[in-house]
Structure 1
Amino acid sequence: MHTMTYADTPHLTLVTASNEMPLLSLPPVEPIQFLQAIISTLDPHHAFTMLNHFLMNVIHHTGWEYYWTHVNSIPTAATLRLSGGKTDRHSLEYTLVFNDREMGVLKLMRGRRFTEAEQTHIEALIGLAAPALHNALQFHELNAQLERDVLTELGNRRALMTQGQAWLADCERQQRPASMLALDLDKFKLINDQYGHPTGDRVLIAVAQVLRQVTRAADLCVRMGGDEFVILLPGADIIQAMECAERLRHALTALVLTTPEGQTLNISASIGLATYRPGYTLQQLYEKADAALYAAKHAGYNQVLVGSRSAAAHHHHTLVQ
């Protein structure tokens, strides 16, 4: 694996094409045009897509992958995975570094080996793009912090609005199923009233941990506020979503929590389930799941119910508050 630092990048290979240089046979890249394309956005996906567009004109690779994990990010946004094209036989990996800060790993793939001249050209382009990529990643990290619930470190309502819209659009485009769970702790107010908010906060943190353990890495777990949680399950049909909901319900009832005075707390949750249909908005999916949640609570708590379109039509809770 190569480690790329901005300071060590041979920028002159971009603007010089003398006969003595090994890059003579490679198409030239206009630095100004290249930089304008990279810095035109603070969206990491667009920035890396533009970088690979210019690289592809030079080295004709067939696919690329990018992976970044930042330790200070929230679990739902800690990992940034981007990709384009298709995987292939030969690959190069570059660890991107800017001002001594790692910015993830970029992998380039194609069917034949990369020459030394091509590798030099790749390094030059990556180095030139490094400041813009760094800015895009910082912006992504800032948004991740804004989409974090401080207490539980799950996503918050804003995360559901931004990420949820994109994930549903992906499911629609790929014709994949998707489901949503709306979860509410049963009689949580009594815990707060009887034992105080610090104990209630401990319960919420423990519930968030259960959500992370039971759901998949691809799922989005969100604390909407208070003791209400939402889980978006991309790729999950109604059967898979019901199985996930039941695992959550059983895991919560199995929680062993005590107050500072040693009293045992009994935790349970009511869960509403809704499945995505083509043309649904995120708001419609949420209304359907939320209506099923309230039906589950009125039916006696600690159970999972599937939402109906008619029930959702009379339910007016909104995602935007």
Structure 2
Amino acid sequence: MNAGISSAILNSIRDQICLIDHSGEIIYANDEWLNFAKRNGGDLSALGVGSNYLEVSKGNQKVYKGLHALINGEMKSFSHEYPCHSPMVKRWFNMQATRMTKNEHGVDGIVIRHADITRQKLLEIQLKKYVNTDPLTSLYNRRYFENELQKEISRCERTDRSLSVLYIDIDDFKEINDNFGHNVGDTILKEVSMLFLETTRDSDTCARIGGDEFAIILPETPKDELGPIADRLVKNIEEIIVQEEVTYPIKVSVSVGGSSFQHNTDMKTMLEKADRALYAAKDQGKNNNVIY
């Protein structure tokens, strides 16, 4: 196969492909590589034939070290996934670098290929979101909540930091569904969920763990701070007034139970304690909180 045919084949591939020699100099680049370099840099001074790809890659130590390992014969190939976002669009690429043995023309070096994996990545993100979140409220689901709580408990055991959990139930939610219908009930679930997100910190984890049951993980929160947080949630939810699809407004309230991590306490014990506190809050008339 002659060089012209080889170039035609490489130029027909929509991935960016180049060949570097053992010094890092780009000795061949296909059209897609050159066109991408022009679109993103305006010229070929950094990524065109004759420029040194090792110098360009110094800003990414994983790539830089991987290329050196290939050049030195320490490995045959490596790959690196990375984002390449612009203000207008999100993109991800997978860089694949492979040693090429000397061909009939005496050329050898490293073949570098950058493949656009944006669609695959977006699907992965959507799937992960679907797996970990509740579709109605967009809060995390029970599985994600329990996994995160176990991680936080393990962290507390190592670092001696504080951790608390809140269990939350909407008061008389079954009666709301029975009297006003599930559409109104769904609206209340979404309103309450949004308030949780507005009231808590970015480091907290808000989850819907059942029909009208919610839970919040609060890292770095000792027991003496948990009561005021629960009070704030109860009072803020009192301000929710739902008027959608009903002739008169519905007032919403919640009961909250909380517990804090203690050494040698496993997740089951911690959650059972929060659950008992929640039922104590309900027994005391609802629309309040109990911390154990």
Query: What is the distance in 2 between the residues matched to 1:253 and 1:152?
Result: 19
Q: Deviations over 1:41-95 (max 9, x none)?
A: xxxxxx88xxxxxxxxxxxxxxxxxxxxxxxxxxxxxxxxxxxxxxxxxxxxx74
Greater relative contact order (Cα < 8 A, sep 6+): 1
Query: What is the distance in 1 between the residues matched to 2:188 and 2:139?
Result: 14
Change (3 A) 1:129 1:206: same
2:222 partner letter: D
How many residue pairs get aligned? The number is 222
Match of 1:246 among 201, 207, 231: 231
Query: What is the distance in 1 between the residues matched to 2:224 and 2:152?
Result: 20
Query: What is the distance in 1 between the residues matched to 2:214 and 2:285?
Result: 19
Q: Which residue of 2 aligns with 1:12?
A: 19
2:69 partner letter: V
Check the 8 A contact 2:168/2:278 in 1, yes or no. Answer: yes
Check the 8 A contact 1:259/1:265 in 2, yes or no. Answer: no
The question of 1:174 aligning with 2:159 is answered yes
Alignment of 1:88-103 (within 5 A): 95=84, 101-103=90-92
SS in 2 for 1:152: coil
Check the 8 A contact 1:220/1:232 in 2, yes or no. Answer: yes
Q: Which residue of 2 aligns with 1:29?
A: 69
2:91 partner letter: E
Change (3 A) 1:32 1:284: farther
Q: Deviations over 1:2-28 (max 9, x none)?
A: xxxx945x7534x63368874499761
Change (3 A) 1:211 1:16: same
Change (3 A) 1:196 1:285: same
- 1:279: how far off? 3.2
TM-score by length of 1: 0.59
Match of 1:186 among 133, 146, 171: 171
Identity across aligned pairs (percent)?
29
Change (3 A) 1:232 1:16: same
| Structure 1: stretches of 5+ with no match in the other structure | 1-5, 39-46, 49-93, 105-123, 308-321
- 1:282: how far off? 2.5
Q: Greater shift after overlay, 280-289 or 144-153?
A: 280-289
Check the 8 A contact 2:168/2:214 in 1, yes or no. Answer: yes
- 1:129: how far off? 9.0
SS in 2 for 1:262: coil
1:257 partner letter: V
Q: Deviations over 1:284-307 (max 9, x none)?
A: 221111111011111211111112
- 1:103: how far off? 4.3
SS in 1 for 2:91: strand
Query: What is the distance in 2 between the residues matched to 1:202 and 1:18?
Result: 60
Check the 8 A contact 2:222/2:260 in 1, yes or no. Answer: yes
Query: What is the distance in 2 between the residues matched to 1:17 and 1:138?
Result: 38
Change (3 A) 1:138 1:282: farther
- 1:196: how far off? 1.0
Query: What is the distance in 1 between the residues matched to 2:152 and 2:270?
Result: 13
Is the radius of gyration larger for structure 1 or structure 2? 2
Check the 8 A contact 2:92/2:121 in 1, yes or no. Answer: no
Q: Greater shift after overlay, 237-246 or 293-302?
A: 237-246
Check the 8 A contact 2:226/2:291 in 1, yes or no. Answer: no
2:216 partner letter: I
| Structure 2: stretches of 5+ with no match in the other structure | 1-13, 26-49, 59-63, 94-110
Query: What is the distance in 2 between the residues matched to 1:191 and 1:285?
Result: 30
Q: Which residue of 2 aligns with 1:219?
A: 204
Query: What is the distance in 2 between the residues matched to 1:32 and 1:294?
Result: 61
Query: What is the distance in 2 between the residues matched to 1:171 and 1:135?
Result: 36
Superposed CA RMSD in Å reads 3.3
Q: Deviations over 1:152-172 (max 9, x none)?
A: 111111111223222333333
1:12 partner letter: L
